[in-house]
Amino acid sequence: MSRITAICVAFLLGCAAGTPEASAQGAAFADLIGISGNSAEQPPEPRAEPRDGTQTQLVKQFLPANNSEPGFEWPSSKGIGTEEYFLTGNTATYLKTNDLQSEYLQEGTGKCSLAPNTKYMISGAPGFEGEHIKITLQNPLPGCAVTQGFIFMEHIAATSAGGACELPVAVRAFLDTLAYAEGTTNHYNYIFTFATFKNYAGHPRIRKCQGRLCSDASGRYQFLSDTWDPLAGDLGLKDFTPPSQDRAVMELIRRDGAYKAVAGSAVYNNFTKAVTKLNNIWASLPGSPYGQPTHTMASLWNYYKVALAKYP
């Protein structure tokens, strides 16, 4: 699929790592080194499309036709009056007045401490911007004037918006591994070449190039716009938010006939079956036909086991 070349950041969605956001990406690279035994480099700076007449190659992505394959049954839509909330992960975090690093904000006026593994009720649905969720608390926190603002998405285990937090843990670990292979890990706002976006109103449709390879692949699962548009239409998705991306990736897995293997991926034979089935969509998976660099099955299985073990 859309392939972010060779650099991957270790991560687990929804289970917060014990690092502040200022060092989250660096710690993730360190985790990757420990898992793979390979050195990791910082992502290259995004590059614009060549304008010197150099011949470019556009990334391609297979889109399976809609079919009757079984897939994950998402919970039914919420009714009017359903409670809105977010649940923090395993580390303490902050509600911030803006999306700056928390270390630059004043406690009590610029940020409020949030306890780990705690459910907070909010007014209205959570929003998404860049690598943060945006919320308004129903009740003020003791000793803090901040009632609305930003929370680093990595530090959130679940929200009432749904998405990956609603999936079985084996499926979540598989999606984590897929994102690791694609080089996006926990970043729902990545564009090919590690460029980023803030607005989740729709697919960014920004084409970037690295060498002679050009793509508008975006999001955690690196959807090409040509893949996203029909999926979003079929699923009725109105935005490109993380929950919408999670629903779309599960639809790709279903259409490709891989859901049963993904659901049982804690068993190695099922894991390899799922990866082999899906390598016609994602170019980073071993055996992919797109001629781009791929991971080994062994490295992906090792990552999957680590990801799975981090879920309750």
Best CA proximity match to 222, nearest among 246, 199, 191: 191
CB 286 within 8 A of CB 293: no
Ramachandran region of residue 108, left (φ > 0), alpha (ψ -120 to 50) or beta? left
- Please work out, in degrees rounded to the nearest 5, the angle formed at the alpha carbon of residue 184 by the alpha carbons of 224 and 189: 65
User: Is 182 marked active-site?
Assistant: yes
Give the type of residue at 167.
L
Residues 6 or more apart whose CB falls under 8 angstroms from that of 142 comprise none
Per-residue b or e along 140-166, where b marks 16 or more CB atoms closer than 10 Å to that residue's CB: ebeebebbebbbbbbbbbbbbbbbbbb
Token code pair at residue 56: 């470019």
Considering the candidates 21, 154, 182, 251, report the single residue annotated as catalytic: 182
Which are the catalytic amino acids? 182
